[in-house]
Amino acid sequence: MSAISPTVVPSFRGRIGCDARSGYYAAPRRYRLHLSPSCPDCLQIAVTHSLLGLDDVLPVTVLPALPDAPDGGHQTLRPLYEASSHQHPGPAVAPVLSDNWTGTIVSTHTPGILRDLARRFGAHGPDLHPRGAEEAVAAVGRLCEGITEAAQHAGRTDADPAARETALTELLRTLDALDSRLASQPYVLGAELTLADVQLWVTLVQLDTVHRHHLDATAVHRVTAHPHLWTYARRLAAHPAFARHLDLDALTRGHQAQRRGTQAAGAAAGAVDRPVPAASERAVA
């Protein structure tokens, strides 16, 4: 999703295969990522790219934090969209995985891009998408979607108070479960860092820097009263691959570009941006 939500969301869902028979196959510097620092999906991809050490294999073009086209897209991406979809009707939004050989778009679908980075390009890096963990990673992705949706509903000032309280209850129930899980293990799926952690961390960053500012003081206290969860978030934020891409100002400006009035609040840094406790924390592998 781009910093400004377009009316029409384009979707290209090409996948990187194992060899030349698949059409798209992994080759050094054949592909390029186009990412904006204000986009949560782009943040997931950027962190994964850094964790896998793909700077020399898969170049990245960093786009402006805010789209510069009237329709909410990026002008520099327009040629790729036009080459990939004749007279493309929607905005040219990030993220984009493009093919340098053909000058066209392979994918704009974040889950597919993340899997292909881990499976097709990450042979010499950590196993972020281990065989047999596919459903567990997907389940965390769905859980993250639920956190975002519940937080958005809980913070809607124009919603019925009962509906807001129901959404807040659902949000807190999910955070409670995650807090309990992270009390006994370093990462959301166990002992090793995976794509599930990248997804959850970005979701927590959004909850902390954007959504919590639409909640009242009591609700904020209840959200932040999950010590294991927020310690985990701060610990990951201190990891170089995560810290390198955490641009709170860009995320805030991206949110404010979508909202007006009270819905545009949310500039203050929160739990993720606090100093990381050094003495008692587990080291990040």
What is the per-residue pLDDT across 29-45, written as a single tens digit (0 to 9) for each?
A: 999 999 999 999 999 99
Average pLDDT over residues 246-251: 90
Residue written as tokens 């639409």? 214
Instruction: Please report, for residues 103, 164, 186, 241, 254, the alpha-carbon distance to residue 245 in angstroms, rounded to integers and kept in the order given.
Output: 26, 32, 21, 7, 15
Q: What is the pLDDT of residues 200-229, one digit of tens each?
A: 999 999 999 888 888 999 999 999 999 999
Prediction pTM value: 0.87
Does the domain at 134-273 match CATH 3.40.50.300? Answer given as no
Pairwise CA distance, residues 67 & 171, whole Å: 31
Mean pLDDT score, 191-196: 98
Phi, psi of 35 (to 5 degrees): -130, 145
What torsion, rounded to 10 degrees, do the Cα atoms 257, 260, 265, 266 define?
A: -20
Beta carbons within 8 Å of 41's beta carbon, 6+ residues apart: 1, 94, 95, 110
20-121: CATH topology: Glutaredoxin (3.40.30)
> If you ran DSSP here, which 8-state letter would residue 96 be given?
E
Q: Would you list the domain boundaries of the chain?
A: 20-121, 134-273
pLDDT bin (cut points 50, 70, 90) of residue 88 is confident
Strand 104-107 relative to strand 60-62: parallel, antiparallel, unpaired?
A: unpaired
